[in-house]
Structure 1
Amino acid sequence: MSDTPTIIPTAKNSVWAERTGTRQYVGRNHSGAEVRIGTGPGEFSPGELLKLALATCNSLSADHRLAKALGEGFDANVVCATTKNEDEERYDSFEVQLVADYSSLSDEQLAVLRQRVDGAIDRACTVGHTLEKSPEVRLLIVQDPDAEPAA
Protein backbone atom coordinates (compact mmCIF):
# COMPACT_ATOMS: atom_id res chain seq x y z
CA MET A 1 0.00 0.00 0.00
CA SER A 2 1.28 3.49 -0.81
CA ASP A 3 1.98 6.08 1.87
CA THR A 4 0.80 8.76 -0.56
CA PRO A 5 -2.51 10.23 0.64
CA THR A 6 -5.59 9.95 -1.53
CA ILE A 7 -6.36 13.08 -3.54
CA ILE A 8 -9.83 14.34 -2.66
CA PRO A 9 -11.74 15.26 -5.85
CA THR A 10 -12.94 18.86 -5.93
CA ALA A 11 -14.44 21.14 -8.57
CA LYS A 12 -10.98 22.63 -9.13
CA ASN A 13 -8.85 19.46 -9.37
CA SER A 14 -11.04 16.84 -11.01
CA VAL A 15 -13.13 15.79 -13.97
CA TRP A 16 -15.10 12.59 -14.40
CA ALA A 17 -16.49 10.34 -17.10
CA GLU A 18 -19.61 8.21 -17.02
CA ARG A 19 -19.82 4.96 -18.95
CA THR A 20 -22.50 5.10 -21.65
CA GLY A 21 -21.74 1.85 -23.49
CA THR A 22 -18.99 -0.56 -24.44
CA ARG A 23 -15.76 1.47 -24.58
CA GLN A 24 -17.84 4.67 -24.53
CA TYR A 25 -17.89 7.43 -21.90
CA VAL A 26 -19.08 11.00 -21.55
CA GLY A 27 -16.50 13.19 -19.84
CA ARG A 28 -17.79 16.02 -17.68
CA ASN A 29 -16.57 18.88 -15.53
CA HIS A 30 -18.19 20.96 -12.81
CA SER A 31 -19.10 23.79 -15.20
CA GLY A 32 -21.35 21.46 -17.22
CA ALA A 33 -19.11 20.84 -20.25
CA GLU A 34 -19.27 17.40 -21.89
CA VAL A 35 -17.12 15.48 -24.35
CA ARG A 36 -17.78 12.06 -25.88
CA ILE A 37 -14.87 9.66 -25.36
CA GLY A 38 -14.41 6.32 -27.05
CA THR A 39 -13.33 4.70 -30.25
CA GLY A 40 -16.37 5.26 -32.44
CA PRO A 41 -17.65 8.02 -34.72
CA GLY A 42 -18.16 11.37 -33.01
CA GLU A 43 -15.95 10.39 -30.06
CA PHE A 44 -12.49 11.53 -29.02
CA SER A 45 -9.99 8.86 -28.01
CA PRO A 46 -8.05 9.50 -24.80
CA GLY A 47 -4.90 10.05 -26.89
CA GLU A 48 -6.68 12.68 -28.98
CA LEU A 49 -7.84 14.43 -25.81
CA LEU A 50 -4.25 14.49 -24.56
CA LYS A 51 -3.11 16.05 -27.84
CA LEU A 52 -5.92 18.61 -27.70
CA ALA A 53 -5.08 19.40 -24.08
CA LEU A 54 -1.46 20.14 -24.96
CA ALA A 55 -2.31 22.07 -28.12
CA THR A 56 -4.94 24.27 -26.51
CA CYS A 57 -2.89 24.77 -23.35
CA ASN A 58 -0.15 26.18 -25.58
CA SER A 59 -2.53 28.34 -27.62
CA LEU A 60 -4.53 29.62 -24.63
CA SER A 61 -1.31 30.46 -22.80
CA ALA A 62 -0.04 32.43 -25.80
CA ASP A 63 -3.35 33.93 -26.95
CA HIS A 64 -2.75 37.39 -25.45
CA ARG A 65 0.71 37.57 -27.08
CA LEU A 66 -0.69 36.53 -30.45
CA ALA A 67 -3.57 39.01 -30.16
CA LYS A 68 -1.18 41.84 -29.36
CA ALA A 69 0.90 41.06 -32.46
CA LEU A 70 -1.87 40.08 -34.88
CA GLY A 71 -4.90 42.02 -33.59
CA GLU A 72 -7.71 40.93 -31.27
CA GLY A 73 -9.76 39.31 -34.02
CA PHE A 74 -6.98 37.14 -35.44
CA ASP A 75 -7.85 33.75 -36.92
CA ALA A 76 -5.78 30.78 -35.82
CA ASN A 77 -5.75 27.04 -35.54
CA VAL A 78 -3.62 24.89 -33.31
CA VAL A 79 -2.55 21.40 -34.36
CA CYS A 80 -0.85 18.71 -32.29
CA ALA A 81 0.78 15.77 -34.04
CA THR A 82 2.59 12.88 -32.37
CA THR A 83 4.91 10.02 -33.06
CA LYS A 84 3.83 6.85 -31.29
CA ASN A 85 5.96 4.07 -29.86
CA GLU A 86 3.68 1.14 -30.70
CA ASP A 87 5.73 -1.39 -28.70
CA GLU A 88 5.38 0.63 -25.49
CA GLU A 89 1.88 2.03 -26.25
CA ARG A 90 2.94 5.64 -25.63
CA TYR A 91 3.81 8.81 -27.52
CA ASP A 92 7.51 9.50 -28.10
CA SER A 93 7.06 13.11 -29.17
CA PHE A 94 4.52 15.89 -29.58
CA GLU A 95 4.64 18.74 -32.07
CA VAL A 96 2.34 21.72 -31.59
CA GLN A 97 1.79 24.10 -34.50
CA LEU A 98 0.20 27.53 -34.00
CA VAL A 99 -1.14 28.26 -37.47
CA ALA A 100 -2.07 31.87 -38.29
CA ASP A 101 -1.37 34.58 -40.85
CA TYR A 102 1.93 36.06 -39.75
CA SER A 103 2.59 37.82 -43.09
CA SER A 104 2.08 41.31 -41.60
CA LEU A 105 5.10 40.79 -39.32
CA SER A 106 8.71 41.44 -40.28
CA ASP A 107 11.29 38.73 -39.57
CA GLU A 108 12.36 40.68 -36.49
CA GLN A 109 8.77 41.04 -35.24
CA LEU A 110 8.18 37.33 -35.83
CA ALA A 111 11.32 36.46 -33.83
CA VAL A 112 10.14 38.69 -30.95
CA LEU A 113 6.68 37.14 -31.11
CA ARG A 114 8.21 33.66 -31.00
CA GLN A 115 10.17 34.63 -27.87
CA ARG A 116 7.09 36.07 -26.20
CA VAL A 117 4.90 33.10 -27.16
CA ASP A 118 7.53 30.68 -25.82
CA GLY A 119 7.73 32.69 -22.58
CA ALA A 120 3.97 32.77 -22.14
CA ILE A 121 3.70 29.02 -22.70
CA ASP A 122 6.62 28.37 -20.37
CA ARG A 123 4.92 30.42 -17.63
CA ALA A 124 1.36 29.19 -17.99
CA CYS A 125 0.98 25.81 -19.77
CA THR A 126 0.26 23.31 -17.00
CA VAL A 127 -0.27 20.46 -19.47
CA GLY A 128 3.12 20.99 -21.10
CA HIS A 129 4.87 21.27 -17.73
CA THR A 130 3.17 18.05 -16.61
CA LEU A 131 4.20 16.08 -19.69
CA GLU A 132 7.80 17.30 -19.34
CA LYS A 133 8.03 16.10 -15.72
CA SER A 134 6.41 12.62 -16.00
CA PRO A 135 4.07 12.84 -12.99
CA GLU A 136 3.22 9.93 -10.73
CA VAL A 137 0.01 8.19 -11.84
CA ARG A 138 -1.95 6.05 -9.38
CA LEU A 139 -5.08 3.99 -9.98
CA LEU A 140 -7.49 3.32 -7.13
CA ILE A 141 -10.37 0.84 -7.31
CA VAL A 142 -13.13 2.54 -5.28
CA GLN A 143 -16.44 1.05 -4.14
CA ASP A 144 -19.45 3.10 -5.25
CA PRO A 145 -21.04 4.20 -1.94
CA ASP A 146 -24.49 4.21 -3.55
CA ALA A 147 -24.24 0.63 -4.89
CA GLU A 148 -26.45 -2.05 -3.39
CA PRO A 149 -24.48 -4.74 -1.53
CA ALA A 150 -24.26 -8.13 -3.26
CA ALA A 151 -26.77 -10.67 -1.98
Structure 2
Amino acid sequence: MSDTSIITPTETNSVWAERTGTRQYLGHNARGAEVRVGSGPGEFSPGELLKIALATCNTLSADHRLAKALGEDFEANVICATLKHEEEERYQAMDVQIVTDLSALTGDQLATLSQRVDAAIERSCTVGHTLTKGAEVRLHLLNDHPEDVD
Protein backbone atom coordinates (compact mmCIF):
# COMPACT_ATOMS: atom_id res chain seq x y z
CA MET A 1 0.00 0.00 0.00
CA SER A 2 1.63 3.25 -1.06
CA ASP A 3 -1.29 5.52 -0.15
CA THR A 4 -0.11 8.13 2.35
CA SER A 5 -3.54 9.51 3.22
CA ILE A 6 -4.68 9.22 6.81
CA ILE A 7 -7.18 6.50 7.69
CA THR A 8 -10.17 8.25 9.23
CA PRO A 9 -10.60 7.07 12.84
CA THR A 10 -14.04 5.69 13.73
CA GLU A 11 -15.43 3.92 16.80
CA THR A 12 -14.91 0.54 15.13
CA ASN A 13 -11.45 0.95 13.58
CA SER A 14 -9.50 2.86 16.22
CA VAL A 15 -8.39 3.13 19.80
CA TRP A 16 -6.70 6.09 21.41
CA ALA A 17 -4.45 6.93 24.33
CA GLU A 18 -3.89 10.10 26.29
CA ARG A 19 -0.63 11.03 27.97
CA THR A 20 -0.96 10.95 31.76
CA GLY A 21 2.71 11.40 32.72
CA THR A 22 6.26 10.78 31.59
CA ARG A 23 6.15 7.63 29.43
CA GLN A 24 2.64 6.90 30.73
CA TYR A 25 -0.59 6.75 28.73
CA LEU A 26 -4.18 5.73 29.35
CA GLY A 27 -5.59 3.75 26.41
CA HIS A 28 -9.28 3.84 25.51
CA ASN A 29 -11.80 2.24 23.19
CA ALA A 30 -15.29 3.36 22.20
CA ARG A 31 -16.89 0.82 24.56
CA GLY A 32 -15.45 2.58 27.62
CA ALA A 33 -12.58 0.22 28.41
CA GLU A 34 -9.30 1.62 29.66
CA VAL A 35 -5.78 0.21 30.02
CA ARG A 36 -2.74 1.84 31.59
CA VAL A 37 0.29 1.76 29.32
CA GLY A 38 3.85 2.42 30.43
CA SER A 39 6.64 0.67 32.26
CA GLY A 40 5.63 1.25 35.87
CA PRO A 41 3.61 -0.75 38.39
CA GLY A 42 0.06 -1.50 37.23
CA GLU A 43 0.86 -0.69 33.61
CA PHE A 44 1.19 -2.84 30.49
CA SER A 45 4.09 -2.15 28.15
CA PRO A 46 3.22 -1.93 24.44
CA GLY A 47 5.02 -5.26 23.89
CA GLU A 48 2.95 -6.90 26.62
CA LEU A 49 -0.22 -5.55 25.02
CA LEU A 50 0.84 -7.06 21.69
CA LYS A 51 1.39 -10.42 23.41
CA ILE A 52 -1.94 -10.35 25.24
CA ALA A 53 -3.67 -9.29 22.01
CA LEU A 54 -2.26 -12.28 20.14
CA ALA A 55 -2.93 -14.72 22.98
CA THR A 56 -6.52 -13.66 23.53
CA CYS A 57 -7.25 -13.34 19.81
CA ASN A 58 -6.29 -17.01 19.54
CA THR A 59 -8.46 -18.11 22.46
CA LEU A 60 -11.44 -15.93 21.53
CA SER A 61 -11.28 -17.36 18.01
CA ALA A 62 -11.21 -20.92 19.33
CA ASP A 63 -13.45 -20.53 22.39
CA HIS A 64 -16.50 -22.14 20.79
CA ARG A 65 -14.45 -25.16 19.70
CA LEU A 66 -12.93 -25.57 23.15
CA ALA A 67 -16.34 -25.18 24.84
CA LYS A 68 -17.90 -27.80 22.58
CA ALA A 69 -15.18 -30.32 23.44
CA LEU A 70 -14.60 -29.44 27.10
CA GLY A 71 -17.95 -28.05 28.26
CA GLU A 72 -19.28 -24.50 28.38
CA ASP A 73 -17.73 -23.81 31.79
CA PHE A 74 -14.20 -25.02 30.97
CA GLU A 75 -11.32 -23.23 32.65
CA ALA A 76 -8.33 -22.09 30.64
CA ASN A 77 -5.37 -19.78 30.71
CA VAL A 78 -3.48 -18.50 27.73
CA ILE A 79 0.16 -17.48 27.69
CA CYS A 80 2.17 -15.71 25.02
CA ALA A 81 5.91 -16.17 25.43
CA THR A 82 8.41 -14.46 23.15
CA LEU A 83 12.01 -14.55 22.02
CA LYS A 84 13.35 -11.04 21.55
CA HIS A 85 15.91 -10.01 18.95
CA GLU A 86 17.67 -7.38 21.05
CA GLU A 87 19.70 -5.71 18.29
CA GLU A 88 16.64 -5.20 16.07
CA GLU A 89 14.30 -4.34 19.00
CA ARG A 90 11.61 -6.81 17.88
CA TYR A 91 10.19 -10.19 18.76
CA GLN A 92 11.56 -12.91 16.51
CA ALA A 93 9.23 -15.64 17.75
CA MET A 94 5.95 -15.76 19.66
CA ASP A 95 4.48 -18.92 21.20
CA VAL A 96 0.83 -19.00 22.25
CA GLN A 97 0.08 -21.69 24.81
CA ILE A 98 -3.53 -22.52 25.71
CA VAL A 99 -3.49 -24.34 29.05
CA THR A 100 -6.60 -26.29 30.05
CA ASP A 101 -7.59 -29.70 31.39
CA LEU A 102 -7.53 -32.10 28.43
CA SER A 103 -7.39 -35.29 30.52
CA ALA A 104 -10.94 -36.40 29.64
CA LEU A 105 -10.15 -36.53 25.91
CA THR A 106 -8.91 -39.59 24.08
CA GLY A 107 -5.95 -39.29 21.75
CA ASP A 108 -8.27 -39.09 18.73
CA GLN A 109 -10.49 -36.49 20.41
CA LEU A 110 -7.44 -34.40 21.29
CA ALA A 111 -6.15 -34.59 17.71
CA THR A 112 -9.57 -33.55 16.36
CA LEU A 113 -9.82 -30.69 18.87
CA SER A 114 -6.32 -29.49 17.99
CA GLN A 115 -7.20 -29.42 14.27
CA ARG A 116 -10.47 -27.58 14.95
CA VAL A 117 -8.78 -25.05 17.24
CA ASP A 118 -6.09 -24.39 14.62
CA ALA A 119 -8.74 -23.98 11.88
CA ALA A 120 -10.82 -21.59 14.01
CA ILE A 121 -7.78 -19.45 14.77
CA GLU A 122 -6.73 -19.46 11.11
CA ARG A 123 -10.22 -18.30 10.12
CA SER A 124 -10.79 -15.62 12.72
CA CYS A 125 -7.66 -14.28 14.44
CA THR A 126 -7.08 -10.82 12.98
CA VAL A 127 -4.08 -10.16 15.23
CA GLY A 128 -2.39 -13.39 14.18
CA HIS A 129 -3.08 -12.70 10.50
CA THR A 130 -1.62 -9.22 10.85
CA LEU A 131 1.54 -10.48 12.50
CA THR A 132 2.14 -13.35 10.08
CA LYS A 133 1.21 -11.47 6.91
CA GLY A 134 2.37 -8.04 7.96
CA ALA A 135 0.71 -4.66 7.83
CA GLU A 136 2.03 -1.35 6.62
CA VAL A 137 2.62 0.96 9.58
CA ARG A 138 2.50 4.68 8.89
CA LEU A 139 3.06 7.56 11.31
CA HIS A 140 1.38 10.95 11.00
CA LEU A 141 2.48 13.76 13.33
CA LEU A 142 -0.53 16.08 13.56
CA ASN A 143 -0.85 19.57 15.03
CA ASP A 144 -3.61 19.82 17.63
CA HIS A 145 -3.78 23.58 16.91
CA PRO A 146 -3.25 24.01 13.13
CA GLU A 147 -4.29 27.67 13.28
CA ASP A 148 -1.05 28.38 15.21
CA VAL A 149 1.21 27.24 12.34
CA ASP A 150 2.77 29.90 10.11
Could you tell me the TM-score, scaled by structure 2's length?
Answer: 0.95
Equivalent residues in 2 for 1:1-151 (5 A)? 3-145=3-145, 149=148
In 1: Cα distance, 2:74 partner to 2:124 partner: 21
Q: Which amino acid aligns with 1:19?
A: R
Residue deviations 1:39-64 (CA, integer Å, cap 9, x gap): 00000000000000000000000000
Q: Which amino acid aligns with 2:21?
A: G
How far off its partner does 1:148 sit? 7.8
SS at match of 2:83: strand
Unaligned 5+ segments in structure 1 are: none
Could you tell me the TM-score, scaled by structure 1's length?
Answer: 0.94
Unaligned 5+ segments in structure 2 are: none
Q: Which amino acid aligns with 2:46?
A: P
Could you list the runs of 4 or more consecutive aligned residues of structure 1 that deviate by over 2 angstroms after TM superposition? 2-5, 147-150
SS at match of 2:30: coil
Count of aligned residue pairs for this structure pair: 148
In 2: Cα distance, 1:3 partner to 1:129 partner: 21
How far off its partner does 1:149 sit? 3.3
SS at match of 2:148: coil
* Residues 54 and 3 of structure 1: CA distance in aligned 2, closer, same or farther (over 3 Å): closer
RMSD: 1.3
Q: Which amino acid aligns with 2:111?
A: A
In 2: Cα distance, 1:81 partner to 1:148 partner: 47
